Structure 1
Amino acid sequence: MTAEAFLQDFHHVATIGATPNNGVHRQAGTDEDRQTRDWFAGFAAEHGWEVRVDGIGNMFALLEFRPGAKFVLIGSHLDSQPLGGRFDGAYGVLAGLHAAARIEANVRAGGELPPFNLAVVNWFNEEGGRFAPSIMGSSVYAGIMDRGQMLDVRDLQGVSVREALTGIGYLGTDEAPEPVSYAEIHIEQGRILEREGLTIGAVDSSWYTQKLDIEVLGEQSHTGATAMADRHDALVAASKIVLMVHDVTGNFEEEALVSSVGQLTLEPNSPIVVARRVHLVADLRSNSPEIVKSARDSLLADVAALAEEHDIRINVKDFDIRANQYYPESGVELTEKMAANLGLGVRRIQTMAGHDSVAMNRIVPSVMMFIPSVDGVSHCEREFTTDADMLAGLDALTEVALELVNGALLDGGSIPAAEGDATSAAVVADSSGAVATAGATA
């Protein structure tokens, strides 16, 4: 497959769910998601590859070199954030498809038959914008999340994952391929590579992440007729929690912790009714688990005091806790070697964001690579990576995948343990129910 063919395919897929400002709006389980999945299946069919869809909607395009052998998986995800960027996730899937086609062409041209098969994967709901938690499909595949529970997850309109996948025709029943290793290439979503003038990031570890599910329960009343002193306004209290989550980063060294509230829902959401309930999700991330836990404890204490001050009830639950992941040293070295062979500048780098490789690295040796993001912008329409960097990354992924199907990472490529116990990266739905301060509630 030529460089021109890759660029043509990439920019075509970017038209599916395209937004006016060069982004994409292609959330999991939507019709736009279906269209990209149909395109993925069509690409595989044109190359004579078998396509499987498993019970959580993950898609696999299989290249079987040796019947019965395990599979090297390469790929990423095609879903996006609302008004998201066209590179995040999709680049890794398109690069995976074209790398696989190049490897197959090499074998057909008389190259050595590899000992392992190859599969390109499009993971379901990596973004988690519509269905929480994120990294769903790969986590179910890896056994970290329960498939039945994830199929029952509902979006803000009450549609379940099961209903959404059934509606677009991608709730599969196929057996997923058995993995031996995994590789993923992705835009950096930061500006380190751009700032240092490098093309490839060899990811060696991921940050510790946890979210807080926060429910603020006040009392519904008339905005015009209720005296200020008699109100129990859930939205006022929730607004203070948003600032608490933002300000907690100031308790630590600069950039040691990042935090946000990215989702908030309001009931009854009427212009003349004091809010009775607000639900929000806080996100805490650091390279240090101790910093995240300290920030969490500080927030819980502040939220408890806030509930007492406002005479309302606030419920806080931990969920979606992901321990630090450390990628195999042999995989990091493989990325460095392949980049050097191609004449590409490379450095080791951490990922602050979550990726499907974080889930996969728990079950098989995994490789994660980055290419530069212009201005470090991500999860918005302004997200951009140059064609030249995409093509360089495709070359690097092809070389890495070729090494993997020939057995790289199997000697000295054991999976490093995550920091913390084995369950710490799983979805913790109702652990440590933190704060439940009673007051005047609806």
Structure 2
Amino acid sequence: MTTTPEDAFLSDFHEVAKIGATESGGVERQSATPEDKQTRDWFVGFAQERGWETGVDGIGNLFARVPLVAGGGEETGVIMTGSHLDSQPKGGRFDGAYGVLASLHAAAQVEQRVREGELTADYDLVVVDWFNEEGGRFPPSIMGSSVYAGLMDRQQMLEVTDLKGISVREALESIDYLGADDAPGVPPVGTVQGYAEIHIEQGRILERDGLPLGAVDSSWYTQKLDIEVLGEQSHTGATAMADRHDALVGAAHVVLLFQEICERFPEETLVSSVGQVTVEPNSPIVVNSRVHLVADLRANDPQIVKDARDWLLEEFTRVEAKTGLKVVAQDFDVRPNRYYPIEGVELQEKVAADRGLGIVRMQTMAGHDSVAMNTVTPSVMMFIPSADGVSHCEREFTSDEDMLTGLTSLVGVLDRMVQGALDGVAYPGSATA
């Protein structure tokens, strides 16, 4: 029995979903863990079976080059496509991984079309698994693509540590995936002539509107706050209530402020959260002396984020006065709105129209590797539906039918991109933008 390209993709997707699988249907594959290594090894195996050269750069990004240009070499321009294989703790099996698997299979289909003479390519293809997109183990997120694009310093990111004190450098070395920027198989940034990424939406718009595809035209403004609440360690039983300086009590006030702030703006214009909390000394019989929080503010309008941030800082002084604690907040990981080239959006619409598929222009509230890549090359961001809009969760789900629709659409986009469809197109980081 002949296996169709669609069957091959679904088989591989569901096979990779077994790596780090959780009991409730999700995956646990945080960056540079043994489970992350297994998915990376699978990626390398897929590429080697097809004779594609692989390479790893100095921040752990993994590349596979698909030769399409006759007589081409390392200096040949490339179109890049991919996403990430790492997950959140108890995350979903679709987030990121779908984009990598779809890119591998789409690249194989484009290569087949070139071999059969159905199309002539101006550029090679490169499939990429970006390191630490999630940022769950090593903040900030979107690390690998941001370093590649020159938005973050590689040496600084290599020294970032997880909650156990293990650095990015040590973690990558432990799984044998710390390479070098000039390693064979690593495409120089200057050779990348375009980037395409397909991803589950992680929201409700496509499902609500009954559409199979979304063409992302822009991203929301985002900023994080690194917050320390400082008190004094003491005995939970022997210390009088009036004498306590409980950092966790202050942190509770701070967390509630991030809930309250959204109520001060029009509905659905601002989202906020406290996503990580570290408590010290975290003993059952000790009043806590320090709480570290990582908080997140996002809106389409940058002024909303800035106003929210200013209000929060003012409220933190009131928390200090009420509790006798110290609240120290620092801005980090501030990301402006990014606008994808309109030519890339229209390209997706043309591909959808050719296939008789519905598509809608939309924004991304979440960050993606394409946001970073869009600063160095014309980039395309494609969405497929997410059931109930759920993501970063074990019950995250997208149907096989929707995944296959996305795959065929990605093939159509890459067909045109390797033929120069986005040549000369301005992007946010270009001189003509």
Q: TM-score, normalised by structure 2?
A: 0.95
Residue identity matched to 1:69: T
Mapped to 2, the partners of 1:359 and 1:91 lie a distance apart of 19
Which residue matches 1:328? 341
Task: Give CA deviations for 1:2-24 in whole Å, capped at 9, x if unaligned.
Answer: 10000000000000000001100
Is residue 121 from structure 1 mapped to residue 124 from structure 2 by the alignment?
A: no
Is residue 200 from structure 1 mapped to residue 207 from structure 2 by the alignment?
A: no
Which residue matches 1:436? none
Residue identity matched to 1:63: V
Q: CA deviation at 1:417?
A: 6.1
Residue identity matched to 2:66: L
Is residue 31 from structure 1 mapped to residue 26 from structure 2 by the alignment?
A: no
SS of residue paired to 2:427? coil
Task: Give CA deviations for 1:213-243 in whole Å, capped at 9, x if unaligned.
Answer: 0001100000011111111110000001000
Q: Is the 8 A contact 1:261 1:283 kept in 2?
A: yes
Residue identity matched to 1:46: E
Find the partner of 2:138 among 131, 134, 140. 131
Describe how 1:47-66 pairs up with structure 2 within 5 A: 47-64=50-67, 65=69, 66=72
Q: CA deviation at 1:111?
A: 2.8
Describe how 1:42-191 pairs up with structure 2 within 5 A: 42-64=45-67, 65=69, 66-67=72-73, 68-173=75-180, 174=183, 176-177=186-187, 178-191=191-204
Which residue matches 2:269? 256
Residue identity matched to 2:387: V
Q: CA deviation at 1:416?
A: 3.3
Find the partner of 2:237 among 218, 224, 228. 224
Equivalences, count:
418
Describe how 1:293-312 pairs up with structure 2 within 5 A: 293-312=306-325
Q: Is the 8 A contact 2:218 2:364 kept in 1?
A: yes
Is residue 392 from structure 1 mapped to residue 405 from structure 2 by the alignment?
A: yes
Which residue matches 1:214? 227
Q: Which runs of 5+ in 1 are unaligned?
A: 423-442
Mapped to 1, the partners of 2:141 and 2:428 lie a distance apart of 23
Task: Give CA deviations for 1:372-415 in whole Å, capped at 9, x if unaligned.
Answer: 0010000000000000000000000011011111111114x200
Task: Give CA deviations for 1:68-98 in whole Å, capped at 9, x if unaligned.
Answer: 2111000000000000000000000000000
Is residue 342 from structure 1 mapped to residue 345 from structure 2 by the alignment?
A: no
Mapped to 1, the partners of 2:221 and 2:227 lie a distance apart of 20
Task: Give CA deviations for 1:190-225 in whole Å, capped at 9, x if unaligned.
Answer: 010001110000000000000000001100000011
Q: Is the 8 A contact 1:325 1:417 kept in 2?
A: no
Q: CA RMSD in A?
A: 1.2
Q: Is the 8 A contact 1:211 1:321 kept in 2?
A: yes
Task: Give CA deviations for 1:283-326 in whole Å, capped at 9, x if unaligned.
Answer: 00000000000000000000012112211211110000000000
Task: Give CA deviations for 1:343-372 in whole Å, capped at 9, x if unaligned.
Answer: 111000100000000000011000000000
Q: TM-score, normalised by structure 1?
A: 0.93
Residue identity matched to 2:426: S
Is residue 416 from structure 1 mapped to residue 419 from structure 2 by the alignment?
A: no
Which residue matches 1:273? 286
Mapped to 1, the partners of 2:419 and 2:149 lie a distance apart of 23
Q: Which runs of 5+ in 2 are unaligned?
A: none
Residue identity matched to 1:62: R
Mapped to 1, the partners of 2:428 and 2:45 lie a distance apart of 37
Mapped to 2, the partners of 1:138 and 1:92 lie a distance apart of 14
Which residue matches 1:440? none
Mapped to 2, the partners of 1:128 and 1:112 lie a distance apart of 39
Which residue matches 1:7? 10
